[in-house]
Structure formats: C-alpha cells, structure tokens
Amino acid sequence: MNLRWIMLFATIAEEKSFTRAATRLNIAQPWLSAQIRKLEYQLGVQLLVRQSAGVTVTPEGEALLPYARQLSEAANMFRHMARTMGDAHSKTVRIGSHMPMIDIASLRPVNRDFARRHKNFSLNAEVGGTPGLLNRLHAAEFDFVVALSPLPEERKDELDTLKLGETRFCLLSSAAAPIEDEGKLAGRAIGVPPADWHPDLLARLVVRLRDAGATTREVPEFDRRALEHLVTAHQMAVVTAIDEDDRASIDPGIVLTELNGIAADHLLCRVAGRELGRASDHYWTLAQTRSQELMQSVP
C-alpha cells in the first residue's frame, strides 16, 4: 500500500476540503482526488464523502484516521531526521504561508531573484492558518513562515520577523448581486476564512460583518482563484485579503469592496537563533533587502 496515499487522506481529513488540501500541499486537485480513489479501491471502503460545502469523513474513515495520522507523523519525522543527518546545508527552502505565495505581491520579486541567482536551490511552499504554521515552524517543519500580523503573544519573543508590505481585507461579490458598500450587507450571507486561519483577525471581521446585519459562514479555502470561482459560479460573497497591486487582476464579473480599517502586515518569520541551510540564508538576505526597500518607499 502506498504510504503517500495514506498521508494525503490524513491531510484532506484535517483540511475538510480537497481544494484546500491541494493548495496546502502545492499539488493539483485532480491528481489528489485520483490518489484517494486508488486508496479507497485498494481498501475496499469509502473514506470521504465529497460535498459542495467540503468533505466529510465516513465512519470507516474515522476509524482509520488515527492510524493514518500516526503514519503521517512518523513519515514526516523520518524525513526530517534524514534531512538533518544527510545535509546540514539543505538546498530547499521550506516555507509555510497564510495564502498562496503567488498572491503576496511583495514576495514575488524575492522569489524571482532567488530562482534567478540560486538555480541549484529550490522553494517548497505550503499554505495554512497562521497559528498552525507557527507551530510547525517551531517544530522545525519549516524554515520560514509568512504570517499575518498580529502574531500570537506567546510566539513574538522567539521569532525574527521582516515586514513585507500590507494587505487589506476586501469583500468580493458577484456583479449580478453586488455589494458596493457595507450599507448593503444586511441580510446577506458572507463567506469568511476558516476558524484556524487567524483567530484575532477573523473575530474582527465577523464582528464587523454581523454589526452590519450580515450572517457569516466559513469557507475552507485559501486560494484566491477558488474564492473567485465561488463568487462568479455560485454568486457567493466572500471576504479575503488582497494586496493592492493585485486588485486589477480580479475577475471582471466580481465587485470588490474594501472593508476600511481592517488591514494586516505580511511578516516573514524565522525562529531566532536557529541555524538554517545556505539556501535559507540566501532567501532571508533577499527578503531583508526587499523589506528595506518597502520601508523606504513609504511616504
């Protein structure tokens, strides 16, 4: 039996979404679905029920899930120990990010420069909620994490951080049922990020929306393209973070409304004092230069 299939099953069960799991693992969703079908066929039981709102684990899947998690954790520990023993100067930079890195405008120049200058090194990125990513950074599963401010108080003292620009929160609604301003939120159902995304920011967003008369529901997606599809294909309204440089690329069938007063910084974080490989050192140096450029450009 393919251990990789079991690890994929554990990730989908954790994320409760094929799309979100594929984004986190940086793989194609159709390929992910195909691997799970192979696992279910080999086991002879259905593990997951696919629904429009996400994924539900079947009773058989729930019975097997604890063992899948144990195998996944053991495999990750095995991989980490092998990397530690085999190459103290890793050629891969492991990054966890609160959103796909392609959607963080300030990081795109860093990633381009890194790829151009260091062709023998590579980037490996995963997407997830800020608290979970910081826990994995602490456990040395990542070299860096791109988190949203504010950071949890219990983590601040252990981290070195670089500010890499600001992002603002916007409401995306269909042009067929637009919400041009917050005065039109009353009675509307608004999709918000999942609970494990960033508890502090999520609480502020939910209060803001409910005070305007809207109801909220969790949308288990981080990828902007998946969110845009929900808006255009299903006429849902959702809240997400969008950098100013990327607003012009929004689907023309979507109305973008900024939620004034709710913003956060992109923070590149590393554990203070932890020695990383050459690849990670090069990446941090490029990010430092970019952070300084951004600060100097602020009027």
The predicted-structure confidence for 177-197, as pLDDT tens digits, reads as follows 999 999 999 999 999 998 888
Residue 222 has pLDDT above 80, yes or no: no
Determine the pLDDT at residue 54.
80
Residue 232 has pLDDT above 80, yes or no: yes
Rounded percentage of the chain residues whose pLDDT exceeds 70: 96
Determine the pLDDT at residue 296.
87
DSSP letter for 157, please. T
| CB-based burial label for 233 (10 Å; 0-12, 13-18, 19+) | exposed
- Pick the more confident residue, 223 or 105: 105
Most confident of 98-102, 114-118, 210-214, 229-233: 210-214
Q: In the predicted model, what is the mean pLDDT of residues 69-82? A: 84
User: What fold is seen in the domain 166-264?
Assistant: D-Maltodextrin-Binding Protein; domain 2 (3.40.190)
Determine the pLDDT at residue 298.
66
* Pairing outcome for strands 54-57 and 48-51: antiparallel
User: What CATH code would you report for 3-85?
Assistant: 1.10.10.10
Q: In the predicted model, what is the mean pLDDT of residues 167-176? A: 94
- The secondary structure of 281-296 as a DSSP string is HHHHHHHHHHHHHHHH
Q: What is the pLDDT of residues 35-60, one digit of tens each?
A: 999 899 889 999 999 887 789 999 99
Vertex 100 angle, CA 107 and 48, to 5°: 165
Same CATH topology for 3-85 and 166-264?
no
Least confident of 80-89, 121-130, 197-206: 80-89
Q: What is the pLDDT of residues 3-33, one digit of tens each?
A: 889 999 999 999 988 888 888 887 888 888 8
Distance CA(22)–CA(84), nearest Å, equals: 27
> Domains of the chain: which residue ranges?
3-85, 89-164+266-297, 166-264
What pTM, to 2 d.p., does this model score?
0.71
DSSP letter for 79, please. H
Determine the pLDDT at residue 145.
97
Determine the pLDDT at residue 28.
81
pLDDT band at 121 (very low <50, low <70, confident <90, very high): confident
Quick one: CATH architecture of 89-164+266-297? 3-Layer(aba) Sandwich (3.40)
- What mean pLDDT, rounded, does the chain reach? 89
**Token representation of residue 227:** 């969110």
pLDDT band at 88 (very low <50, low <70, confident <90, very high): very low
Dihedral of alpha carbons 220, 224, 230, 236, sign: positive
